[in-house]
């Protein structure tokens, strides 16, 4: 039996198994089977992905031009137990699973977008429209995902892909702000209360002193995480103030002087532009501090006639950009963020010659 034939047989067996489970409950089971068959029949030209109704989206079967959207063959999903969620961008995976779970709970269809890995190591944006196939008792038995590519128009950077990416980033930033609030109002407050009780206690020994030290470190670490999730100063004062506060609070830079050069009258930008610019600068500074072994880092930020020009430079060990084009997740993330603003991310580096990361885009303000 050929590999393709074996795959088809395996998928058919799994689908027949699910249909049998629906039939076992009798009564209105035909409605669930009909929904499944309608979903399969209603997706010409799309990739149809059938999965278990679990948080991993465990593969049941795939149909359509799989390699046009996903970086894996059908047999990799079926024989190696690869699931769709494993190919989704780490920043999008948890949100996507939650959205599908919410739709299942409300007995609604879902319509979400997320990034999946390409063959070259980059990311492409997919739209996933689907629903849960339920039995007569309302229990989800499997998920039907109808996958299509969200493609950019050839004539405009504000086409469907750019619009979807902006909405995606906006949603991610909203979720990060909510997470920051939950950490602050939950863990930080509880830890601070425990620390106050310990400090007010009359008991003083090595164990209590050690407990207080660990609590202080945990509170400081939580506040550092909050600063990364919700950049202080960004909403109130813009990118220059947020970067300045980020540099002042980032312990990783204590051994490497970081200088900030910016236009005195750098203007406020659109919220999406400010957040995207801040995240790119943050990632570039993190990369330089962790990997460059440079004695200094320079951050320059300019705004001239509507053009925003940001640069992070170090004088460290450098690298060959081509070697990191596929595996450098930080660089891929920065390029994807630059893309949603219609901007350009340029990396100039060579072994022993340091690195310059430059990001430019036309501001909408």
Query: Distance (Å, rounded) from C-alpha 49 to C-alpha 166?
Result: 26
Q: What is the pTM of this model?
A: 0.50
Mean pLDDT of the region 94-121: 88
Residue 300 host element (H or E): strand 297-304
Query: Distance (Å, rounded) from C-alpha 233 to C-alpha 221?
Result: 19
Question: What are the tens digits of pLDDT across the range 14-49?
Answer: 555 555 555 455 444 444 444 555 555 445 568 888
Q: What is the pLDDT, as a whole number, of residue 176? A: 64
pLDDT band at 184 (very low <50, low <70, confident <90, very high): confident
222 and 202 within one domain:
yes
Let me know: does 267 contact 307? Beta carbons within 8 Å. no
225 and 237 within one domain:
no
Final residue of a domain: which of 149, 166, 181? Answer: 149
Mean pLDDT of the region 324-336: 66
pLDDT over 80 at 224, yes or no: no
pLDDT band at 166 (very low <50, low <70, confident <90, very high): low
Domain residue limits at 145 = 3-149
Mean pLDDT of the region 173-201: 77
CATH of the domain at 330: 3.30.565.10
140 and 14 within one domain:
yes
Q: What is the pLDDT, as a whole number, of residue 158? A: 44
Question: What are the tens digits of pLDDT across the range 66-100?
Answer: 888 888 888 888 778 889 999 998 888 888 999 99
Mean pLDDT of the region 182-191: 79
Report DSSP state, residue 157: T
Count of structural domains, the chain: 3
318 and 255 within one domain:
yes
Mean pLDDT of the region 265-294: 87
pLDDT over 90 at 257, yes or no: no
185 and 239 within one domain:
no
- The region of weakest confidence among 185-194, 195-204, 223-232, 276-285 is 223-232
Select from 27, 9, 31, 6 the least CA-distant residue to 141. Answer: 31
24 and 144 within one domain:
yes
CB neighbour list of residue 42: distance below 8 Å, 6 or more residues apart: 146
Supply angle C-alpha 156, 162, 166, rounded to 5.
145
Final residue of a domain: which of 202, 230, 258? Answer: 230
Query: Distance (Å, rounded) from C-alpha 361 to C-alpha 310?
Result: 9
Final residue of a domain: which of 149, 176, 196? Answer: 149
């Amino acid at each position: 039996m050929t590999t393709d034939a074996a795959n088809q047989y395996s998928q058919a067996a799994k689908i027949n198994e699910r249909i049998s489970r629906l039939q076992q409950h009798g009564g209105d089971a035909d409605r669930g089977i009909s929904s499944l068959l309608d979903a399969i029949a209603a997706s010409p030209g799309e990739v149809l992905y059938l999965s278990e109704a679990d948080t991993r989206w465990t593969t049941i079967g795939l149909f359509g031009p799989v390699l046009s959207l996903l970086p894996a063959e059908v047999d990799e999903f079926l024989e190696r137990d690869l699931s769709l969620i494993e190919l989704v961008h780490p920043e999008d995976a948890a949100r996507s699973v939650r959205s599908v779970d919410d739709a299942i709970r409300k007995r609604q269809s879902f319509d979400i977008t997320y990034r999946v890995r390409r063959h070259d190591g980059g990311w492409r944006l997919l739209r996933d429209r689907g629903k849960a196939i339920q039995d007569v008792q309302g229990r989800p038995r499997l998920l039907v995902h109808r996958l299509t590519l969200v493609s950019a128009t050839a004539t405009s950077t504000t086409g469907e892909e750019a619009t979807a990416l902006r909405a995606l980033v906006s949603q991610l930033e909203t979720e990060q702000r909510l997470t920051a609030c939950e950490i602050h109002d939950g863990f930080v407050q509880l830890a601070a209360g425990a620390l106050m009780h310990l400090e007010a206690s009359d008991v003083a020994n090595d164990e209590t002193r050690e407990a207080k030290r660990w609590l202080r470190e945990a509170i400081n670490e939580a506040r550092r995480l909050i600063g990364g999730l919700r950049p202080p100063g960004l909403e109130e004062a813009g990118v220059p103030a947020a970067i300045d506060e980020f540099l002042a609070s980032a312990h990783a830079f204590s051994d490497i002087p970081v200088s900030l050069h910016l236009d005195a009258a750098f203007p406020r930008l659109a919220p999406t532009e400010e957040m995207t610019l801040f995240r790119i600068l943050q990632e570039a500074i993190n990369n330089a501090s962790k990997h460059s072994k440079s004695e200094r880092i320079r951050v320059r930020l300019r705004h001239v006639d509507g053009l925003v020009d940001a640069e992070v430079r170090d004088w460290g060990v450098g690298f060959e950009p081509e070697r990191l084009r596929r595996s450098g997740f930080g660089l891929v993330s920065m390029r994807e963020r630059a893309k949603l603003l219609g901007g350009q991310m340029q990396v100039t580096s060579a072994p022993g010659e340091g690195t310059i990361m430059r990001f430019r885009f036309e501001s909408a303000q």
